[in-house]
Amino acid sequence: MPDLASIPFPPAYQVGPVSIQPATVLAPMAGVTDTVFRRLIRNQGGCGLIMTEFTSSHGVVSTRKAKKPNRNFRYLFFEPEEHPIACQLFGSDPEVMAEAARVCEERGFDIVDLNFGCPVNKVVKCNGGSGLLRDLPLLESILRKVRSAISIPLTCKFRAGWNDRELVAVRLAKIAQDCGLAAVALHPRTREQGYSGRADWTRIAEVKAAVQIPVIGNGDILTPEDAVRMQRETGCDAVMIGRAASHNPWIFRQIAEYLQLGSYFQPSERDRYEIMRTYYLMLEEHGEPDAIGKMKQFATYFTHGVRNGAKLRTEIYRATEVPQILDIVDSFFTAELEPARLEVA
């Protein structure tokens, strides 16, 4: 097998007039990709496009009508340094989706993305997310209505189908292209799979062969080698990374280094300490209303592979104040960075 680092990888791709460089995307993740985490990822380098958490179109519209802020508008908050950035919406009413997309354009997003992939029951039962994979006529109506409502590029992210007997990825991609979408992203698991089993990358290749618009591949990219292998095997125009980025915020930087050098940065214990503390301080500076909850959530992600990480997580979970958590992190790493302490969590 040839060296994967020698395989040509797209340096960039176009979403309408928006140039995404490099050809890497941070996937939208509920409860993860808020403005603080997105900026943390952006600051590490190597990520071409970042995306918001998926946001209820009904929530956006109702908030606008009520003229008072709520969590849906917090989801749509972003800083200037986050460009290029896409907002992701979900819902099943074409008119409401169109109005929510107009709100996103007004707020300055570069791209609007529609979610047809979320497998969570509470979303699916309202015909949102992957629930729409069983109603392509309604899905097409949504695409056409939203496309006509905005002037910025429209994209969508979807799964391969409801189950292995109801695969619709190629049909959906062709519909999206016919409706004027600028790109599509495919997570090749089915709704029935959830996040279990294997992501069948051959389905990404099938979609890429069927349409002329850019195709972004997503699913089971855990390392820079995985990213390059996906592009080599599928011909996709860009790669999208989700869960791996939550515990390895350097993965986009690593991909860029791997493509350039054939090797890549491996974070040290001190690097993990610094990224953890940086994120926690960013939460505090941003005034995150649930800073403590976020700190506890990300303790699970950021202590992945840290020596005695279980001990650190336990202490953070028990904490009740932000300064207390910062002190715990500082004290833990001050001790654990000593060479004599080598026990692995």
Active-site residues, by number, are 118
Query: 């592979």: which residue's tokens?
Result: 305
Chain mean position to CA 1: 31
Q: Evaluate whether 322 touches 292 at the Cβ level (below 8 Å).
A: yes
- Which residues make beta-bridge pairs with 244? none
Q: How far is CA 108 from CA 20, 112, 154, in A?
A: 17, 10, 14
Q: Evaluate whether 329 touches 280 at the Cβ level (below 8 Å).
A: yes
- Identify the CA nearest to 214 among candidates 191, 235, 193, 228: 235
Burial of 340 from C-beta contacts in 10 A (0-12 / 13-18 / 19+): exposed
Six-digit token string for 278? 């940086």
